[in-house]
Structure 1
Amino acid sequence: MVSSLAHPHGLIGLGILLLSIMWIAVASAEHVRIGRAAGFMQVCHGKGGPLRRTAPGDTVIYYSPSETFRGKDRLQAFTAIGIITDRSPYQAEMFPGFVPWRRDVDWRPTAEVPIRPLLGQLAFTRSGNWGDQLRFGLFPIEPEDSALIAASMQDDG
């Protein structure tokens, strides 16, 4: 059986537009789950600049190096996939003194999956120091990489 997510040019089963930009965002799994539950994303400790590079219809895939923020509990997994909605980036107070920038996302039902089985198959992991780009917090990837990640994350439950 061929997954609807394994289409060679995108994530048809997830309703992802082929002309959109595909992004990897980086955050701890606990932070990704907070955003997923409330329908938003944040990157780079709440900075607005990176979010302004994104647009409605773009795909965001979260990679979580750890389970907890600043944690030593290594996870190294893709933890969410969604489509950025029409709303522009905005600020929202999380707690007094911290008002990060956010962008609304329509999160798709997916399972969390480790990156290790995909290493070498993804264009952005083919260099020996592929992890360096994760420090940027948000970077574009090839549509083929998005399709491969989405196929591995498909939630059959």
Structure 2
Amino acid sequence: MVKFWVGVVSENHVKRGVKGGFCQVCHGKGGPLKRMKKGDYLLYYSPKVALDSDQKLQAFTAVGKMKDDRVYQFEMAPDFIPFRRDVEYYQPVRSCPIEVARQHPDWKTYASQLRYGHFEVSRDFFKSIFTYMKID
């Protein structure tokens, strides 16, 4: 059964993942990635433009589908070897502001989960955000 997920990641890190065809969540932890399966979908929510920035964004910034079930480590620096998954990203998309998400009846449930960095959402919520993001 296909599941739908949200990953909370700064926009500049999302862009790096989209360009490279991979995802990372929760500062490179493997556990959240292992919960997702081939064919599952991921919406990225970016609270900020950059991790070390005070510049807020508060928008959904990318959407993709897990290519396979492989979770692997990738050395980004000698002291940082995060876990990744390969993702097929839907492109092009436009960002979906948090104001749009707040209109969905499930938003109150999900808003409290943003601090966890990775969580499952309903198909209906996913479709609502994805429909807004698609550029035809």
Q: Distance in 2 between matches of 1:78 and 1:31?
A: 13
Q: Distance in 2 between matches of 1:86 and 1:117?
A: 31
User: Displacement, 1:122?
Assistant: 4.5
Q: Distance in 2 between matches of 1:59 and 1:107?
A: 10
User: Displacement, 1:120?
Assistant: 3.2
- Are 1:112 and 2:112 counterparts? no
Q: Distance in 1 between matches of 2:6 and 2:124?
A: 13
Q: Distance in 1 between matches of 2:55 and 2:65?
A: 28
- Are 1:82 and 2:74 counterparts? no
Rg comparison, structure with higher value? 1
What amino acid does structure 2 have at the position aligned with 1:141?
A: V
- Are 1:21 and 2:6 counterparts? no
What is the CA deviation profile of residues 36-89 of structure 1, one whole-angstrom value per residue up to 9, with x for unaligned ones? 000000000000011111100000000000000132101000000000011410
What amino acid does structure 2 have at the position aligned with 1:33?
A: K
1:133 equivalent in structure 2 = 113
Q: Report runs of 4+ in structure 1 exceeding 3 Å deviation.
A: none
Alignment of 1:9-88 (within 5 A): 19-88=1-70
2:81 equivalent in structure 1 = 99
What is the CA deviation profile of residues 107-148 of structure 1, one whole-angstrom value per residue up to 9, with x for unaligned ones? 00111121212303151x135xx5331111110000000110
SS in 2 for 1:77: strand
Tell me which of 114, 130, 135 is aligned to 1:150.
130
State the TM-score, normalized to the length of structure 1.
0.82
1:121 equivalent in structure 2 = 104
> What 5-or-longer segments of structure 1 have no aligned partner?
1-18
RMSD between aligned residues = 1.3
SS in 2 for 1:116: helix
> Whose strand proportion is higher, 1 or 2?
2
> What 5-or-longer segments of structure 2 have no aligned partner?
none
